[in-house]
Amino acid sequence: MPAILDTLARLAARLSGRQSTLRITGDARIVRRVGPMIERLIADTPDGEVYQTALAELFVGERPPLRFHYGAVSTFRLDGPPQRAGDTMLPLGGLLLSPGVTAHLDPFEARELDREVSAAIEQAILEYIARRRLQDLRPVPQQIDRATADPAARKLIARWARSRQVLEMVGIADHCARRQRP
């Protein structure tokens, strides 16, 4: 239902020609840095929606998150701002959410879990690289040419969706055929 209300609100705003002006007052250095981010954030585009959704999560907790780690059903949030303790930086804590578990971690528990999860992610990435032999490929620029890459990705997704539909139809046909056999 919220998606329908959001769509209706967006349609009403477009039809009425309503737009709001956002004024920002702050340190010039910071405003210069965040201005382009804000423009991307408030864009009434699919990209803008993704930025809005991603950013909304940053303001759910009381502390600013340093990073999130997501599992299939569990989430770990590392809380900041980071604190200097001599030559070591520590989080203020962390939040661990898993079915049946909500745990607030102290700075040392949070740092330990963050290191373990980061190590597991690194291991999974290295295994993926090795399995796909990505180290044998020529390096590519980090930047993506969206004018070319986005349509190509959408084409792959559409092909995948069509193949799933065919498989589902074949699966349903096979199931019906098995049921009709004596």
Rounded mean pLDDT for each run of 10 residues along the chain, 182 residues in total: 64 70 87 92 93 91 95 97 96 98 98 98 98 96 96 95 82 58 50
Residue 169 and residue 132 share a domain: no
Helix residue ranges per DSSP H, the chain: 2-16, 28-41, 46-56, 107-132, 146-180
Helix (H) or strand (E) holding 103: strand 101-105
Question: So what's the pLDDT on residue 24?
Answer: 81
Question: So what's the pLDDT on residue 22?
Answer: 78
Question: So what's the pLDDT on residue 157?
Answer: 94
pTM: 0.75
Residue 125 and residue 67 share a domain: yes
Residue 77 and residue 110 share a domain: yes
Question: So what's the pLDDT on residue 11?
Answer: 65
Question: So what's the pLDDT on residue 179?
Answer: 56
Question: So what's the pLDDT on residue 116?
Answer: 98
Residue located via tokens 């740092």: 111
Host domain of residue 87? 63-139
Residue 76 and residue 121 share a domain: yes
How many domains is the chain partitioned into structurally?
3
Helices 28-41 and 46-56: crossing angle in degrees, nearest 10, is 120
Question: So what's the pLDDT on residue 96?
Answer: 98
Distance, CA of 117 to CA of 22 (rounded, Å): 39
Q: What is the DSSP letter of 92?
A: S
| Residue 56: φ, ψ to 5° | -55, -35
> Are 127 and 135 spatial neighbours (Cβ–Cβ below 8 Å)?
no
Residue 54 and residue 1 share a domain: yes
Residue 26 and residue 5 share a domain: yes
